[in-house]
């Protein structure tokens, strides 16, 4: 009896997860009638290319030099 109950609970949990996952898919939403067809056909507007871009970071130290690992200024410049 306990095995039946535990199997029933596990099956219900799995069915619930599968149902929720399927209902989040746009084509399934359209077939179930959760989203109107006119709303499903609308594509999002493209992002404008005039958005401000971050400037490229400037490399102050060369990467990969041996001095990078054993530099005294690097080892002793610990911020409090």
Where are the chain's structural domains?
Answer: 1-40
Q: Is the pLDDT of residue 13 over 90?
A: yes
Length of the chain as a residue count: 80
Cβ atoms 23, 35 nearer than 8 A: no
Q: Is the pLDDT of residue 67 over 80?
A: no
pTM for this entry: 0.41
Q: What pLDDT was estimated at residue 16? A: 94
Structure tokens at 58: 């400037």
Cβ atoms 26, 40 nearer than 8 A: yes
Tell me the per-residue pLDDT of 15-64, one tens digit each, with 9 for 90 and over: 999 999 888 888 888 887 877 777 666 666 766 665 567 776 666 655 66
Q: Produce one character per residue of 19-34: b if its CB has 16 or more CB atoms within 10 Å, e if not.
A: eeeeeeeeeeeeeeee
Mean pLDDT of 56-79: 62
Q: What pLDDT was estimated at residue 9? A: 97
């Amino acid at each position: 009896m306990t095995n039946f109950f535990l199997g029933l609970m596990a099956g219900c949990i799995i069915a619930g997860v599968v149902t929720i996952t399927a209902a989040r898919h746009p084509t399934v939403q359209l077939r179930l009638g959760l989203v109107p067809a006119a709303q499903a056909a609308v594509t999002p507007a493209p992002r404008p290319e005039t958005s401000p871009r971050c400037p490229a970071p400037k490399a102050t130290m060369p990467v990969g030099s041996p001095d990078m690992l054993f530099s005294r200024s690097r080892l002793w410049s610990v911020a409090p």
